[in-house]
Amino acid sequence: MDDARAPAKKATPNPSTSAAAATATATTTASTATTIPNASASASGLLPAPSTTAGGGNNDAHGPLPLRHGHELPFVAPSSYLRPKSAPRAMPDKTAGPLDKEQMQGLRDIREFLKVRTSYDVLPLSFRLVVLDNDLLIKKSLNILIQNGIVSAPLWDSHNSTFAGLLTSTDYINVIQYYCQFPDQLNQVDQFRLCNLRDIEKAIGVVPLETVSVHPMRPLYEACRRMLKTRARRIPLIDTDDETGRQTVVSVITQYRILKFIAVNNEQHTMLLKKPVGELGLGTYTNMATATMNSSVLDVIHLMVKHNISAVPVVDEDYKLLNVFEAVDVIPCIRGGAYDELSATVGDALSNRAEDFAGIYTCGEDDRLDSIFDTIRKSRVHRLIVVDDDSRLKGIISLSDILKYVLLYGEEDDSIRS
């Protein structure tokens, strides 16, 4: 649906703003793009497969995780394209060495690239866009997302013919919280429409997310800054017709799509990023929010809300990584408005994952950022879980961590402003 494609002629954005579940295609420039091989997860989603290390290629180090009956994880199969692991490194020199200078040069080159490319460039040659009418019942929107194999959709206010925000798994999590706070109102929850989402936020005391969007022809760098500032993991591209002043939803770009675009088009720059992620402090290594296979889905949702995160690693009693529960895993759990089934265990919920689930990516602290970009170039990576040689959880590297580092590290003003 959204693989990057070969270069194409630049074309005018193709509007797609019809009600309910409209689909549309658009043509765009995808620069030097490539067809991305599908990460090969194990076939059934329950069969065990070895984990992929992002860097290193040393599969002994972070090799197959122990199997748990019923909870085996569709780890991505080892990939031959990963670079050999670098030799153990000495303690970093505090003064900038050649490696630091090279790294900084790589970052500068990538930033320049982002400044001369537009968000429009990121779009694949052909794609499908599902836009939901704001009057749609929330319950129905769930089914449409599931049927279309997507996890978010722009909303359209057909009364005013305007873009009305972006529906994401966070909205469903808010509905779940509403249900938890007002359990006797299940009937009312069933009748909620997408236009009621803001009322739900108010009722549960959630600070509404800024409705952020960018014009597709603005520099990609701007879209990235805006995403970091608002902590949005995806951003809608909204165009406005000069003559009529009417808005058009062109598409939505995600952090994943942007990093893939960087990886595919900047190999000569990403290969300069030779510093290990542990040395860079890339990601989060303390106060990790984790769950076990027996945690209830509801508890994990509360954890995600409390920490404002989109994924919770699932570990065993030895803190060994078994799987990851992602915010998008919530969507099938409440299919058909089954909010009362959230007491199911994480293990049960994960065993219902789609067969094409991309898998879990792991890396070690001594894996280098260039290897991570290699992995992003070739696979559908949404985060990397940092593990030690015994598969014990050490930390997590989100795409937002990588994007933030690539955009802001070493900048004099590294505050996140748009």
Q: Smallest Cα–Cα separation from 277: which of 85, 130, 3?
A: 85
Which residues are 249's β-sheet partners?
238
C-alpha dihedral sign at 292, 294, 300, 302: negative
Which amino acid is present at 123?
L
Q: Which residues of 273-292 are buried (b: 16+ CB within 10 A; e: fewer)?
A: bbbbbbebebbbeeebbbbb
Residues 23 and 2 sit within 8 Å (Cβ to Cβ): no
Q: Of 268 and 308, which CB lies nearer to ligand AMP in the complex structure?
A: 308
Q: Of 145 and 312, which CB lies nearer to ligand AMP in the complex structure?
A: 312
| Shortest spacing between CB 305 and ligand AMP, in angstroms | 11
Output the six-digit token pair for 94. Answer: 């505090």
Q: Of 249 and 396, which CB lies nearer to ligand AMP in the complex structure?
A: 396
Residues 165 and 187 sit within 8 Å (Cβ to Cβ): no
| Shortest spacing between CB 287 and ligand AMP, in angstroms | 6
Residues in contact with ligand AMP by CB under 6 A are 233, 283-284, 287-289, 307, 309-313, 383, 396, 398, 400-401
Q: Of 234 and 275, which CB lies nearer to ligand AMP in the complex structure?
A: 234
| Shortest spacing between CB 381 and ligand AMP, in angstroms | 12
| Shortest spacing between CB 323 and ligand AMP, in angstroms | 12
Output the six-digit token pair for 146. Answer: 């599931």
| Shortest spacing between CB 396 and ligand AMP, in angstroms | 5
Q: Of 238 and 300, which CB lies nearer to ligand AMP in the complex structure?
A: 300
H-assigned helices in 231-338: 255-265, 267-270, 277-280, 297-307, 330-333
Q: Which residues of 109-147 are buried (b: 16+ CB within 10 A; e: fewer)?
A: ebbebbeebbbbbbbbbebbbbbbbbbbebbbbbebbee
| Shortest spacing between CB 329 and ligand AMP, in angstroms | 13
| Shortest spacing between CB 267 and ligand AMP, in angstroms | 25
Q: Of 36 and 311, which CB lies nearer to ligand AMP in the complex structure?
A: 311
Q: Of 90 and 207, which CB lies nearer to ligand AMP in the complex structure?
A: 207
Q: Of 347 and 395, which CB lies nearer to ligand AMP in the complex structure?
A: 395
| Shortest spacing between CB 114 and ligand AMP, in angstroms | 19
H/E element holding 289? none
Q: Smallest Cα–Cα separation from 134: which of 20, 244, 8?
A: 20
H/E element holding 387? strand 383-387
